[in-house]
Amino acid sequence: MLELRLVQGSLLKKVLEAIKDLVTDANFDCSATGFSLQAMDSSHVALVALLLRSEGFEHYRCDRNISMGMNLNNMSKMLKCAGNDDIITIKGDDGSDTVTFMFESPNQDKISDFEMKLMDIDSEHLGIPEAEYHAIVKMPSSEFGRICKDLSSIGDTVVISVSKEGVKFSTRGDIGSANIVCRQNKTVDKPEGATIIEMNEPVSLTFALRYLNSFTKATTLSESVTISLSSELPVVVEYKIADMGYIRFYLAPKIEDEEEDMKS
Amino acid sequence: MLELRLVQGSLLKKVLEAIKDLVTDANFDCSATGFSLQAMDSSHVALVALLLRSEGFEHYRCDRNISMGMNLNNMSKMLKCAGNDDIITIKGDDGSDTVTFMFESPNQDKISDFEMKLMDIDSEHLGIPEAEYHAIVKMPSSEFGRICKDLSSIGDTVVISVSKEGVKFSTRGDIGSANIVCRQNKTVDKPEGATIIEMNEPVSLTFALRYLNSFTKATTLSESVTISLSSELPVVVEYKIADMGYIRFYLAPKIEDEEEDMKS
DNA sequence: ACAACAAAAT
DNA sequence: ATTTTGTTGT
């Protein structure tokens, strides 16, 4: 028996908008801790980890750990039928091969329930090691989104370099090249608008912009994004979900060999 | 000689937007009563009935009853050339095979006239019998539109059931099933936002969502919609046009045979 | 002002 | 069927 009542239903709608383009099918894992998901993207290059802690739900009942395989496109279709101000309740019965999404309009005049078939999904639940990062950049999520979008009109990959100067995003393509430098800036009025760089060691890594642009679909979930970088390690792009948890995206850096360096 | 001057020209523009996807050609009938139209959709499944009463026009001259066959797509193209605040005058001469639409901008700075060829259309003018309905639901037109749109992302048909509880819209498709229940609700501030259910007898009928979604193109014409249901009778979906008349859409229910019932 | 959605044109 | 344009909501 599973019953998770989320007052701010728009959060779940946004979460699905953020990941459904990256991952087609995934297992949602439900435990006393919360409602979580971990999945590779279809080309097995990027990894998404979602956590919605039980404390963030108005009502959270999960009698036993359960893993529910869902087609995220279909789930997203159903959640699109919820109003942005609706309360969403996720319901599951033990042994059932369906999940029910219930939507309640704010004034309780309209109650909808959508039943979706579950699917069996082989999930290789990867343990993600906690790592020390050479540099952690926190910046407005909208700014990061804009940079990824802008650079992808010039090139396919971005070099993210963190130094004392700030964080630099560089790309190069047929029509030219571009560098965007963001300096640390704590002096903004609201803390969410700040750009904060914690650097233990300079780091410079190359990533495919295609994936970063997918990650920025989560921009609506949080005003700020945290980018954690270490050489040889996947970058972590994290969007905090207010009072509930996070979405984290992991992406391995491209290893540029000498030849490619020389071409560029 | 025909001369109909409509101050709120946007009404006519909206009317055409509402019906031109359903009906390609139709006869507009003009009499002392008003300007009206009755036509089947191209697949002869749905019926549209429009009435704009003569009293709603600023000036209404119609010397003798006349029926003018128009291609609604072409008529719509011409009306798109009228500004939303323009005054529209429809002019016809006896024996002429054209109709003229005249548009006057609010400040009289711009006067346009568009002449359109008429066409001969066989019209089987059906008598629509007045019927007693088992249930009449009045609800915000936007909400009805949203429900039809949402459900059509799940299934092709909707079962509309009225009971004391309220009105329920249900569908079923490959990815799952859905039920949306709207309760009666007279306690909203503005009367147009209310959901009012008059029920003599419970009723449950199945309709093709495709047509209902066409009907909801009329949502812009009225804040509320009235849905009249009786078993075995076509549903009537009516949008009142302020001070002038209405658009009514008729759609026969699907008769679910045993076989289909068993499949679902 | 931007992005998502729906309508129209090719 | 696909691309472009206009409209709506955030």
- Within 13 Å of residue B104, how many CA atoms lie on the same side as its CB? 11
Q: Are residues A87 and A167 in the same domain?
A: no
* Torsion sign over Cα B51, B56, B59, B60: positive
Average pLDDT score over residue span A198-218? 95
The burial of B58, by beta-carbon neighbours within 10 Å (0-12 exposed, 13-18 middle, 19 or more buried), is given as exposed
pLDDT digits (tens, 9 = 90+) for A68-88: 999 999 999 999 999 999 999
With respect to residue B166, please indicate whether it lies within any of the assigned structural domains.
Answer: yes
Q: What's the whole-number mean pLDDT along residues B61-71?
A: 95
Mean pLDDT of A215-225: 95
For all residues of chain B together, what is the average pLDDT? 92
- Has residue B129 been placed in a domain? no
10 Å CB burial of residue A232 (0-12, 13-18, 19+) is exposed
The answer to whether residues A66 and A182 belong to one domain is no
pLDDT at B262 over 90: no
Q: Side chain identity at A97, as an amino acid letter?
A: D
Domain ranges, residue A99: 2-117
Q: Tell me which residue has tokens 């190069």.
A: A172
* Distance in angstroms (rounded) separating the CA atoms of residues B77 and B98: 16
Does B93 lie in the same domain as B186? no
Min mean pLDDT across A191-200, A249-258, B39-48 is at: A249-258
Domain boundary among B88, B117, B146: B117
Nearest protein residue to nucleotide D10, judged by CA and C1' positions: A220
Which of B177, B186, B189 would best serve as a mutation to test chain A binding (most A beta carbons within 10 A)?
Answer: B177
* pLDDT average, residue stretch B13-33: 95
Task: Tell whether the model's pLDDT for residue A249 goes beyond 70.
Answer: yes
Task: Give the mean model confidence (pLDDT) for residues A110-118.
Answer: 96
pLDDT at B33: 96
- Cα-Cα-Cα-Cα torsion B172, B173, B174, B180, nearest 10 degrees, comes to -60
pTM, entire model:
0.94
Q: Which member of B153, B177, B182 has the closest CB to residue A109?
A: B182
Distance B48 CA to C4 C1' (A): 32
**B211: which residues sit within 8 A by CB, 6+ positions away?**
B22, B41, B45, B46, B249, B251
Check: CB of residue B136 under 8 Å from CB of residue B228: yes
Distance of alpha carbon B14 from alpha carbon B12, whole angstroms: 5
Q: Which pLDDT band, with edges at 50, 70 and 90, does A164 fall under? A: confident
The pLDDT confidence band at residue A125, using thresholds 50, 70 and 90, is confident
Residue of A nearest to B165 (CA): A109
Query: Are B168 and B109 in the same domain?
Result: no
- Token pair for B140: 């915000």
Domain boundary residue among B52, B82, B117?
B117
The pLDDT score that the predictor gives to residue A222 is 94
**Can you give the pLDDT at residue A129?**
84
Tell me if A18 sits within 8 A of A221, measured CB to CB: yes
What average pLDDT does range A221-243 have in this prediction? 95
B98 shares its domain with B216: no
Residue B85 tokens, joined: 């605040």
CB contact under 8 A, A114 and B176: yes
**pLDDT tens per residue, range B183-211:** 998 877 788 889 999 999 999 999 999 99
Q: Does any domain span residue B124? A: no
Going by pLDDT thresholds of 50, 70 and 90, the confidence category of residue B257 is low
**Is the domain of B251 the same as that of B180?**
yes
- Together in a domain, B160 and B230: yes
Q: How confident is the model at residue A257 (pLDDT cuts 50, 70, 90)?
A: low
Check CB contact under 8 Å for B176 and A74: yes
Phi then psi dihedrals of residue B134, to 5 deg: -65, -35
Residue A245 CA, nucleotide C3 C1', distance (Å): 26
Element of type H or E holding B79: helix B72-79
- What CA–CA distance (Å, rounded) separates B182 from A176? 57
In this structure, are B208 and B248 located in the same domain? yes
DSSP of chain A, one letter per residue? -EEEEES-THHHHHHHHHHTTT-SEEEEEE-SSEEEEEEE-TTSSEEEEEEEEGGGSSEEEESS-EEEEEEHHHHHHHHHTS-TT-EEEEEE-TT-SEEEEEEE-TTSSEEEEEEEE----------------SEEEEEEHHHHHHHHHHHHTT-SEEEEEEETTEEEEEEEETTEEEEEEE--B--SSSGGG-BEEEESS-EEEEEEHHHHHHHGGGGGG-SEEEEEE-TTSPEEEEEEETTTEEEEEEEPPB---HHHHHH-
Q: Does the residue A163 lie in any domain?
A: yes
Among candidates B153, B179, B182 on the partner chain, residue whose Cβ is nearest the Cβ of A77: B153
Q: Cβ(A6)–Cβ(A88) under 8 Å?
A: yes
| Rounded Cα gap, residues A17 and A19, in angstroms | 6
How is the beta sheet containing A135-140 ordered, strand by strand? Answer: A66-71, A25-30, A34-40, A46-53, A245-251, A235-241, A224-229, A135-140, A196-199
Question: Residue B195 is nearest to which of A77, A109, A113, comparing CB atoms?
Answer: A109
Task: Assess whether A64 and A150 both reside in one domain.
Answer: no
**CB within 8 A of A122, min separation 6: which ones?**
none
Does residue A94 sit in the same domain as residue A204? no
Per the domain annotation, does A127 fall within a domain? no
- Residue B261 pLDDT > 80, yes or no? no
Q: What domain count does chain A have?
A: 2
- B180 → chain A, closest CA residue: A112
**Which residue in B152, B165, B180 has the most chain A C-beta atoms within 10 A of its own C-beta, making it the best mutation to test that interface?**
B180
Mean pLDDT of chain A: 92
Give the tens place of pLDDT for each residue, B212-237.
Answer: 999 999 999 999 999 999 998 999 99
pLDDT tens per residue across span B154-170: 999 999 999 988 999 99
User: Which residues of chain B have a CB within 8 Å of the CB of A98?
Assistant: 176
pLDDT (mean) for B45-69: 96
Task: Among A117, A143, A160, give the residue marking a domain's end.
Answer: A117
Query: Is B93 inside a domain boundary?
Result: yes
For residue A207, the domain's CATH number is 3.70.10.10
B125 within a domain of the structure (yes/no) = no
Q: What is the pLDDT of residues A126-153, one digit of tens each?
A: 888 888 999 999 999 999 999 999 999 8
How many other C-beta atoms lie within 10 A of the C-beta of residue B201?
A: 13
Residue A126 lies in a domain: no
Average pLDDT, stretch A201-207? 97
Are A139 and A221 contained in the same domain? yes
Can you tell me which residue has the tokens 């297992």?
A: A27
Question: Which residue matches tokens 């045993």?
Answer: B258
Long-range pairs for B41-44: beta carbons < 8 A, 24 or more residues apart: B41/B211, B41/B214
Least confident of A1-15, A122-136, B86-100: A122-136
A147 plus A96 within the same structural domain? no
pLDDT of residue A124: 76
Q: Across residues B118-144, what is the average pLDDT? A: 91
Q: Which residues pair with B217 in a beta bridge?
A: none
